[in-house]
Chains A and B, each alone.
Chain A
Amino acid sequence: MLRQLRVALRTGVVTEPPAREAEVERLGASLAAEIRTRFGRSLAIRQVDAGSCNGCELEIGGLTGPHYDLERFGLHFVASPRHADCLLVTGPVTRNMAEALRRTFYATPDPKIVIAAGDCAGDGGIFRGSYAVIGGVREIVPVDALIPGCPPSPAALLAGLLDALGRPR
């Protein structure tokens, strides 16, 4: 226990500053100004896996680590959509997950935003046209922003989230 504390204190803070450029497609379902005032300093994110291959989830998982640390911007992940302001949806939305995604959307209190992460969440990605896939989160719930990538790196995700919130870096 003490050894762990010693290592921690010796290593110090390893968080990197976020990337300058962000690739985000604004889909404009909510007013950008309102998002900025409401969620600029505090955003609770509920991640929804709508049939993804989990590549995006692994990259999202990196956001909570020491290098990318999204908590320093007031963003944090929550377990229940009731606690959430933002649904971070990945995956092409398989037919089995469509209703679940819709219910999660309605379970989230207003005002809320939906951010689609990854190419699959945009239009189905490499699974587009499959019999099991609907093809893009915007077919099920209104989407405010899309962060492209297959998968998007944690730096891209972080930059994209901050840009969607209108946060100056």
Chain B
Amino acid sequence: MPALVYALTALLGAAAAATGVAGMLGAPWTLRVDWLVPLGGLALEMDPLAGLFVALVGAAAVPVSVYAIGYAGRERQGCLAYAVFVAAMLVVPLAANVMTFALAWELMSLASYVLVLDGARAGRQPAASAHAGWVYAVMTHAGLACLLAGMLLLTAWTGSARFADWAAAAPTLSAESRSLVWALLALGFATKAGGVPLHVWLPLAHPAAPSHVSALMSGVMIKLGIYGLLRASFVWLAPALPWWGATLLLVGAVSAVTGVLYAIVDRDLKRLLAFSSIENVGIVLVGTGAALAFAAAALPMLALLALAAALYHVVNHAAFKSLLFMAAGSVLHGTGTRDMEALGGLIKRQPWTAACFLVGAVAIAGLPPLNGFVSEWLTFQALLQNIQLPNPTMNLVFALAIAGLALAAGLAVAAFVKAFGITFLALPRSDAAAGAHEAPVLMRVAMVATAAACAALALGASAVVPALAAVAATLVPAPTPITVGAWLTLDISGDFASLSVPAVAVALAGGVLLPVLLLVVARARPRVRRYETWGCGRLLQTARMEYTATAFADPFTRVFDFFYRPATRLDVDVHPESRFFVRRIRYENPTRFIVDEWLYRPVVRVLRAAARRAAVVQSGSPNLYLAYVLVALLLLLLVA
């Protein structure tokens, strides 16, 4: 039965992808069912931007659902919630009025909350799973509160709950009121997207959820936050103000660097991927912020370029992040653990998983010729043209964003060398890893298909990027700065920059084959001799001698210790009879999360104190309650 539900979801996804692509290519339609939903009725509207995100959710749901048949096909629990989750995510981009949007959004959040709790409970750590679910629920509803506040303000000011009316009425609102609404909506959507400092739920919820759910949460759910930001900034509240772009640029740069720094030091494979999602959301936010800044400065072509780059990264991240989560799920399925300190050597036990993870790792590290490189390249090309902005402060913000993004890109390479190298290479560090088994066929099929999609998105960049630019042009009308030249070269802003991914791929393939030929021609000795690893003549090599995940990240812990603020604890147990004989040494050097410590803990403390004060009101005495009723009645009589 569960397998049937997943299969149906896959079909739903495929149908949605087709519908979305049709919508992208310019076949708009609307659907109104007034009686289905109170306070406005169900209203769906398809336009190119909605089409893109519907296609994205649908296309991601297909391989992930196939994967889920293999991963969770025998477990009843969670399959219906999964189907509801996917369906809700498909409705969110299409929603055309407040009620539809809020219902779909909340349904999506509730379904994923149920799935997070399920997955966390399966991990047999009740306290941690409750905490993960709790934080996720609180953050997502705090975000919803901000969203509703913003949307209700707009409804009150424009007199209509339909999004189309907001777009028409936006120029009539004052800049301050638009800014207020934008701030509320941005807070709400950024919470869903996972921008720092609103990201705290991501590293708890994504690892706890079952792997197919994590793939969708990281791959497409957080992108719906980006969708909301784009709608709010470019459609509902246009024209944009400069500080919106600057804020998103800074938030994006900080998210990118913070996310990857925490990813590098993590020993849990799925949490590493969750932090990496925060990094990539940062990259998308930088692109969006740049687009807003350019739009506010009346540079529509550059805004279009930045927006196309952000959309391309959204699509690419969905592809390679879902691939990575599926591969991580396969590791968990085969070994029973996500802890990298207990993994290793899996490339020999799980060759297909390893190959797919490697493709995902090369893609997310932004290395040619895969898709992460192309979208990061495109984002940089948009950022590097900021000299056309007249305001020097904006130039400074852009320079900071460029530096931050570059640092994040460099550190992402390190994070994924660690993720792939420690998990899959060398010797297994535990019996669980030594006895791992490969994933079943359906999971492998899903992973290979997604890996092929990553390659296709890169090689087909000269088709995909102009299509995305056309979608972006519906938000920022301008002639396109992206043209396709000879040899499928993408030309940006005339001759500012060019790239031909197929040419690079062909050149790389040739470059890798050329030494093979050269070695044959030079008559190099063809065979190899197998022997042990060089260990300075040591008599035994075990897995204890390998580098661990923590050791690999040690240089970063030292270089960035002002950021990680590790709390070193060293306990030395000596023999009672002589302090020169040490029985046990316990060394702990955990990194601390400064956002949690500096922002959330004080806020929670203040809230708790306020709640304790307010609890005085609930004394439990009926006489006091009757007195409240009397006072309230008197006040009402006075006011009325």
Contact = CB atoms under 8 A, between A and B. Distances in A.
User: Is A in direct contact with B (CB under 8 Å) within the complex?
Assistant: yes
B260 to A, nearest CB: 33
A167 B529 CA distance: 30
Contacts of A104: 537
A156 interface: no
A99 B537 contact: yes
Interface in A57-90: 80-82
Contact of A81 (B529, B534, B538, B539): B534
A100 B537 contact: yes
B534 A109 contact: no
B536 A106 contact: no
A96 B22 CA distance: 75
B532 interface: yes
A106 B531 CA distance: 8
Interface residues of A, number: 13
B531 A107 contact: yes
Interface residues of B, number: 8
A134 to B, nearest CB: 15
A41 interface: no
Interface string B538-554: 11000000000000000
A120 to B, nearest CB: 18
A99 B539 contact: yes
B529 A103 contact: no
B536 A100 contact: yes
Nearest to A81: B534
Interface string A85-123: 000000000000101110110110110000000000000
Contact of B537 (A82, A103, A109, A110): A103
Q: Is the interface of A mostly helix, strand, loop or mixed?
A: helix
A30 to B, nearest CB: 16
Contacts of A101: 537
Contacts of B534: 80-82, 107
Contacts of B536: 100
A49 B531 CA distance: 22
Given A101-B537, A103-B537, A104-B537, A110 B529 contact: yes
Interface in B485-536: 529, 531-532, 534, 536
A49 to B, nearest CB: 11
Contacts of A81: 534
Contacts of A109: 529
21 contacts: A80-B534, A81-B534, A82-B534, A97-B537, A99-B537, A99-B539, A100-B536, A100-B537, A100-B538, A100-B539, A101-B537, A103-B532, A103-B537, A103-B538, A103-B539, A104-B537, A106-B531, A107-B531, A107-B532, A107-B534, A109-B529
Given A99-B539, A104-B537, A106-B531, 18 more contacts: A80-B534, A81-B534, A97-B537, A99-B537, A100-B536, A100-B537, A100-B538, A100-B539, A101-B537, A103-B532, A103-B537, A103-B538, A103-B539, A107-B531, A107-B532, A107-B534, A109-B529, A110-B529
The 9 closest A-B pairs by CB, nearest first: A100-B537, A103-B537, A107-B534, A104-B537, A106-B531, A80-B534, A82-B534, A99-B539, A107-B531
